[in-house]
Chain A
Amino acid sequence: MILNAARTSAGLSDKLALPRKARVHSVFRRAVNILGDNVWISLHPRHVPLNPYSIGLDVDASRTTAGFLECYRGETVTIEDSCIILGQRRVTIRLGGARQVRLNLEALTGSRRQDVGQCLRRLLLTVQSFPTESRFLRGVIALDRKSSEPAGLDDPFTRRSYSIIAGISRAWKVGSGGHLGNEVARTIGFGFGLTPSGDDFITGMLGATEFFASASPLRKIMLEAVTPNIHSTTLPSYYMLRAALDGCYPEVLIRMLLAIGHDEASIYRELKVLRTIGATSGDDMLAGIILTLKMLSTWGES
């Protein structure tokens, strides 16, 4: 069987230029993950938003990828001649004609940075109308209320999520970069999911700091805290964080950040897409964006 790649991230395309051996790492309903020497590839139908390490295949959206590819864990994968070959040429994925999508952020200009407070207000107005399962998003929204204690959900995940948010916020307010870095470090690998919620939250923060305030001390603290700790999580998350440190982000996150600078209709449209990612991944990234905006809006006050 020969399949064509429809879309891929430009960064991944560069990595696949050299021949290499890999294995199928995991198979899900809509994605097949491949792990090779220092490279992680996620295969999915083209309608699924891209990640920095993913390839959208030109397959019918009504058919699931896994069923289409009939992959199984541990199957050998060969990458050569712009092709990904599963097993003994049972499935060949041609990469040549794929549209390459740049998943980098262009930092906003200084003038746009002045709008951070306004962006935050617009975003919060829209977000508050959505129910969410994300502990991080609930915690971030509750942050300015009189009580930031967990309401309704009293479990270890909720308690720690709230504690992380309060810790990061407090450290920023008192200007303690060390404490802030520690809080960020203990967020890596924390929470639900194959990409734990904490990592989605951190990715959201990294994206937001790069987009809104690449010169902020917050950006520097984030990079210094995340870089040495990215091995403390699951493999898919490691690759997501590594890409973020290199300035590459999930397509949904980039679109969300771009929309925040526009009107509420754009925000609403992108929010709906972002929130379809994972059980709470999209909401956790959103929580990272909101907390960053809240912190940046007080930048200069502290």
Chain B
Amino acid sequence: MKDIVVRKSSYLDSVSLMRISKQAAALDGVTNVIVAMATDTNLMMICEAGFDLSSAGSLTPSDLIIAVDAVDGETLKRVHSLILREIESKGHVEHRQALRPQSLETALKPYPEINLVLISVPGKFAAHEASKALRHDKHVMIFSNNVALDDEKNLKAIAEHKGLLVMGPDCGTAIINGIGLGFANSVPRGRIGIVAASGTGAQEVSSILARLGVGISQLIGTGGRDLSRSIGGVTTRMGLDALIRDETTDAIVLISKLPDDEVAGAILEIAKRSGKPTIIYFASSQERRSEANLHFTPTLTETALKAAQVVTGKDFTSRLSTGDETNEHFQSLLEALPASRIYLRGLFTGGTLAQEALFIIGPSLGNINTNMHLTDFSLLKDPTTSLDHTVIDLGDDVFTRGRPHPMIDQTFRLARLHKELSDPQTAVILLDVVLGYGCNTDPAGEIVATIRSHLGKDRLGEGDPVLIASVCGTPGDPQNYELQKQKLKAAGIIVAETNAFACELALSALMRKGNG
């Protein structure tokens, strides 16, 4: 079994490289280990040794490539973790020597030209740090959640007055001038600009675009509450203005969870006046009619397809596989599903992906319980326990206070998965697997390990709930997109190309079980 891992712009001295290679090669079950800089000649040699580089993304001689051939997946994982641990602990003097400023001021002193500050501290301290950054005339991205609404309002008012952007709070994703901030996927540069009040929504759209070979100019995050009446869409408006003026942006994508009508109206008016094609995804059941340069789309998948079509003039619909509905395994799982298994359980790490699921499945399935405050759906009194059909956003503040986001640490989701697998009424479990920088290094591996430990076997089979997952990522992501999909498939999980397609599959399975 062969696999490769790439570490971008990684510099290790040759003594460390050789020592690490030797240690890895000496492990039981390892056939071949190559740790080298990604020069053309080394890549050629790696290909000749039978490794597939197609999923490695674009490589330069500054990247470190780790290619391992081992007898099985477990050994492979062991070798990779050993090598990466060694690289982190030994080789990288740089990490130990890197500047570790104790305050914003000491960080800015050697770098006065910095113009953006990323803040990721516990929520109650984030506003204070953000206001300091604004005092220094810096744009701000606030990754932290649990920031008071009043604080957000005040920060954005100051920023707007100074002509600065405040992305956030709870801004999970941004890509500025090709640099990913927070959770971001490896996507090519291109001519689509994105303004998103939704981290995973932005990741899903930018990843689908990347898989279609279409790139983005900028991805400006705003924070999930920006389009609420209290905040008034300050950052969305400023981001939109910037992209309208940007000559490298040919089309704009606007993504948000359900916005306030009045605020959305004002934003849409700006977009309409600009004349620039704007593709809009507002997660809701409300249908909006496209007009002039404004194109409303019902799913994130269609948002990406429409944007790609606008900038390239090509229809990419046929490039996306609609899923495994006809897959023999899927059919056999459905046919063998016991009559008692009737409910959907959606366990999402991405809030917008969870909302998209609700709005795709909800209209056909009827009442779904959720921990998200949405008028069309019943609010769960206890979000830690499912009730009938349930879709949970595990990134909600309830689950993340004092602990990492589930896109980093899946502990809560894996425990919940265990629980849903044990429930004799669970028919379909819907999962999102989000990849990218900053995300869990092997989310699929952890899910598969949980299933194995629960079922005591390697693969889901007859009588078990049907698990359907989508992988939000790109071939350039550090987790290895193809490998993540392969791991899920090997465990009998149905893997759909996008979250919307996964939801359609889940719906078709549930409808066949007599729901709706």
Contacts and interface: CB of A to CB of B under 8 A. Distances in A.
Interface of A: 25-29, 66-67, 70-73, 75-76, 87-88, 90, 133, 155-157, 160, 186-196, 198, 232-235, 278-281
A13 to B, nearest CB: 26
26 contacts: A25-B11, A27-B97, A28-B93, A29-B93, A76-B113, A88-B112, A157-B36, A157-B45, A188-B39, A191-B42, A192-B35, A192-B36, A193-B13, A193-B18, A193-B37, A194-B14, A196-B36, A196-B39, A232-B39, A234-B61, A235-B62, A278-B14, A279-B13, A279-B14, A279-B18, A281-B14
Interface string B39-50: 111101110110
A72 B107 CA distance: 12
B485 to A, nearest CB: 27
Nearest 7 CB-CB pairs, A to B? A189-B39, A193-B14, A279-B14, A190-B41, A87-B110, A26-B11, A279-B18
Contact of A193 (B17, B46, B112): B17
B292 interface: no
A194 B15 contact: no
B32 interface: yes
A88 B109 contact: yes
Interface of B: 11-15, 17-18, 21, 25, 32, 34-37, 39-42, 44-46, 48-49, 61-62, 93-94, 97-99, 109-113
A87 B42 CA distance: 36
Nearest to A25: B11
B169 to A, nearest CB: 27
A232 B98 CA distance: 29
Given A73-B98, A278-B14, A279-B14, 14 more contacts: A72-B98, A76-B113, A133-B18, A155-B25, A155-B32, A186-B41, A190-B45, A191-B36, A192-B36, A194-B11, A195-B14, A233-B37, A234-B61, A278-B15
A181 to B, nearest CB: 15
B48 A156 contact: yes
Given A155-B32, A279-B17, A190 B97 contact: no
A2 to B, nearest CB: 17
B51 to A, nearest CB: 10
A254 B475 CA distance: 46
Q: Is the interface of B mostly helix, strand, loop or mixed?
A: mixed
B17 A196 contact: no
A73 B11 CA distance: 11
Q: Which of B14, B34, B98 has the most CB of A within 10 A?
A: B14
A157 B34 contact: yes
A208 B177 CA distance: 46
A63 to B, nearest CB: 13
Contacts of A280: 14, 18
A132 B202 CA distance: 52
Nearest to B61: A234
B42 A196 contact: yes
A156 B49 contact: yes
A87 to B, nearest CB: 4
A189 B41 contact: yes
Contacts of B62: 234-235
Q: Which of B15, B35, B39 has the most CB of A within 10 A?
A: B39
Given A189-B39, A232-B61, A160 B45 contact: yes
Q: Is the interface of A mostly helix, strand, loop or mixed?
A: loop
Contacts of B48: 156
Contacts of B111: 76
A33 to B, nearest CB: 8
B13 A190 contact: no
Nearest to B41: A190
Contacts of A232: 39-41, 61
Nearest to A32: B97
Contacts of B37: 189, 193-194, 196, 233-234
A155 B44 CA distance: 14
Contact of B110 (A67, A75, A187): A75
A278 B17 CA distance: 11
Contacts of B12: 194
Contact of B93 (A25, A66, A76, A87): A66
Contact of A279 (B15, B32, B42, B45): B15
B97 A67 contact: yes
Contacts of A70: 97, 99
Nearest to A155: B32
Contacts of A73: 94, 98
B42 A189 contact: yes
Given A156-B32, A190-B45, A232-B61, A27 B93 contact: yes
Contacts of B39: 188-190, 196, 232-234
Contacts of B25: 155
Nearest to A277: B14
B70 to A, nearest CB: 14
A142 B49 CA distance: 24
Contact of A28 (B13, B34, B44): B13
Contacts of B42: 189-191, 196
A188 B17 CA distance: 19
B24 to A, nearest CB: 12
A196 B42 CA distance: 9
Contact of A29 (B13, B17, B99): B13
A71 B61 contact: no
Contacts of B13: 28-29, 193-194, 278-279
B454 to A, nearest CB: 40
A27 B44 CA distance: 28
Contacts of B18: 133, 192-193, 279-280
Nearest to B36: A192
Q: Which of B17, B40, B113 has the most CB of A within 10 A?
A: B40
Contact of B97 (A71, A156, A189, A198): A71
Q: Which of B18, B44, B93 has the most CB of A within 10 A?
A: B93
A26 B94 contact: yes
A81 B18 CA distance: 41
A161 to B, nearest CB: 10
Contacts of A90: 110
B41 A187 contact: yes
A124 B374 CA distance: 80
Contacts of A279: 13-15, 17-18
A72 B98 CA distance: 5
Nearest to A156: B49
A193 B45 CA distance: 15
Contacts of A198: 41
Contacts of B110: 75-76, 87-88, 90
B41 A188 contact: yes
A175 to B, nearest CB: 25
Given A73-B94, A87-B110, A90-B110, A192 B41 contact: no
Q: Which of B32, B35, B41 has the most CB of A within 10 A?
A: B41
Contacts of B112: 88
Contact of B40 (A28, A88, A160, A189): A189
Q: Which of A72, A75, A87, A281 has the most CB of B within 10 A?
A: A72
Contacts of A193: 13-14, 17-18, 36-37
Contacts of B41: 186-190, 196, 198, 232
A74 to B, nearest CB: 8
A133 B13 CA distance: 15
Given A76-B110, A279-B17, A27 B94 contact: yes
B98 to A, nearest CB: 4
